[in-house]
Homo-oligomer: A and B are copies of this chain.
Amino acid sequence: MSLKHAILVLLETEAGSGYDLLKGFKQRLGFFWNASHQQIYQQLKKMHEEQLIELTMEKQNGKPDRKVYHLTNSGREELATWIADPVKPNKVNDALLVKLYAGHMTEPDVLLKELQRHKEIHQKMLATFLDLEAQLNALPKDKQTPYRLPYLTLRRGIIGEEGWLQWAEEVEEELSKMKKAAG
């Protein structure tokens, strides 16, 4: 139920359209919150009805009008209240682990290939995160200060991906042993 609050966070920094928010999710919250454009437009409609956000129309030629949303006082309050309220830790539902658990039903190679696919994705994400970290660290110290909190979320991404890849090595080793034993 926090898509609402993630949107409020993005709009708190800067007013924007549904399309801006879509990009905002990708660029700013991408490693810990994701939303599709369909979700965003529907949510904005609801939040407008709840008067958490206001909109101004911007006319454009050739393109549809931009609906630029900004926080109301009520929206700002909602966000501040939510931050102070406890949230439940995430429910973990990981299909890859279900497959591994039931791996006796298939060949080690099937599992290894699936693992490989996931590993590539995780490697790319780690590379992106490390790149961002390097960019931040290259800034002069005083310019880094405003990014202290976002930087911590980036650290979560880095530590998480490193852990995942470390685990993947253990899995690969074990599956290779099983393959040899079977072959």
Which A residues form the contact surface with B (CB < 8 A)? 2, 5-6, 9, 12, 28-29, 31-34, 79-80, 82-84, 86-87, 89-106, 110-111, 114, 117-118, 121-122, 148-150, 152-153, 155-156, 159-160, 162-164, 166-167, 170-171, 174, 178
Q: Compute how far the CA of A11 lies from the CA of B82 in the bound complex, rounded to whole angstroms.
A: 40
Q: Name 19 interchain pairs, CB-CB below 8 A, sorted by A.
A: A2-B93, A9-B98, A29-B97, A29-B101, A32-B93, A32-B94, A32-B97, A79-B105, A82-B99, A83-B110, A87-B99, A89-B122, A90-B95, A94-B156, A100-B153, A101-B153, A148-B178, A155-B171, A160-B167
Contacts of A32 in B (CB 8 A): 92-94, 97-98, 101
Contacts of A96 in B (CB 8 A): 87, 89
Nearest Cβ distance between residue A120 and chain B, in whole angstroms? 10
Nearest Cβ distance between residue A24 and chain B, in whole angstroms? 11
Nearest Cβ distance between residue A108 and chain B, in whole angstroms? 10
Copy tally for this chain in the complex stands at: 2
Contacts of A101 in B (CB 8 A): 9, 28-29, 32, 149-150, 153
Q: Compute how far the CA of A27 lies from the CA of B160 in the bound complex, rounded to whole angstroms.
A: 25
Nearest Cβ distance between residue A80 and chain B, in whole angstroms? 6
